[in-house]
Amino acid sequence: MNDFLFVVVPYICLTVFVAGHLWRYRYDKFGWTTRSSQLYENRLLRIGSPLFHFGMLGVVGGHVFGLLIPQSWTDAVGIGEHAYHVAAVGGGLLAGIATVVGLAILVYRRRTVGPVFSATTVMDKVMYAFLIVAILLGMWNTVAGSILTIGGEYNYRQGVSVWFRSFLAFQPDADLMGDAPLGFQLHALVAFGLFALWPFTRLVHVFSAPLGYLTRPYIVYRSRDQELGSHRPRRGWDRVG
């Protein structure tokens, strides 16, 4: 069972994630957008969207730190278990609360503002469900697992994190995940579900984060090239034989 849930399913989701993005980028560059609804409503978005997105950046940063950096490394540079714990829980709570509050505002806005709601696709709703559950489970793990220590203390850096790195190295150790508390298991599964959905939702805009803007020249010049038309020009010769 552990092998299925924490090896087979995650790899399927990862494959869909990678292949889906490649396919979507080739097939649907035109649909690759944030699908912003700011034009319809600005008052709630102005508070909710930055809260959610900056919170989310913190959450992602925390996950990268917690999952990818082995405990031995932080020990080696002299960051003790307690110091790490305080920093991780503190930062995680801050980012998590910003994310949850922002998300609550955005979901409220999406449901109550007529034009925004009618611009919501089925795919959006499914994605929102996975996103909300994943975030709430993550908050539960932080609050219940690390602060209130319901069900005993669990050091994810010796469990989930090791499993995740083994998973990325294609030598998955499912038992590490099988021993983790239920909250972590569910969080991981829902998150992988979200990854599988990712390429087919508006979440693709994450991979368009325009960091190149910081270095490119202000004005872009482009020649009227072959690609400009709505289709690729056919070769100008006929095959012989």
* 1 token code pair: 């069972």
Cα torsion angle, 127, 128, 129, 135, sign: positive
* Identity of the residue, 181 or 199, whose beta carbon is nearer to another protein in the bound complex: 199
* Identity of the residue, 76 or 219, whose beta carbon is nearer to another protein in the bound complex: 219
* Identity of the residue, 72 or 226, whose beta carbon is nearer to another protein in the bound complex: 226
**Distance set, CA 195 to CA 23, 121, 132 (Å):** 15, 18, 14
Our measurement of the distance from residue 13's CA atom to the centroid of its chain's CA atoms, rounded to an integer in Å, reads: 13
Closest distance of CB 70 from another protein, Å: 32
Q: How far apart are CA 16 and CA 206, in angstroms?
A: 17
Dihedral through CA 165, CA 143, CA 83, CA 81, nearest 10? Answer: -50
63 is in an annotated binding site: yes
Closest distance of CB 63 from another protein, Å: 20
* 121 token code pair: 């696709």
Closest distance of CB 37 from another protein, Å: 8
231 is in an annotated binding site: no
Residues that bind another protein (CB under 8 A): 27-42, 45-46, 49-50, 52-54, 114-115, 118-119, 121, 123, 200-202, 205, 208, 210-214, 216, 218-226, 228-231, 233-234, 236
What number of other Cβ atoms are within 10 A of residue 154's Cβ?
18
* 25 token code pair: 């980028």
* 45 token code pair: 């978005």
* Identity of the residue, 46 or 111, whose beta carbon is nearer to another protein in the bound complex: 46
N-term to C-term CA, the chain: 57
Closest distance of CB 64 from another protein, Å: 20
Closest distance of CB 91 from another protein, Å: 20
* Identity of the residue, 107 or 186, whose beta carbon is nearer to another protein in the bound complex: 107
53 is in an annotated binding site: yes
21 is in an annotated binding site: no
Indicate the annotated binding residues for heme b.
53, 63, 187, 205
Binding annotation? 53, 63, 187, 205
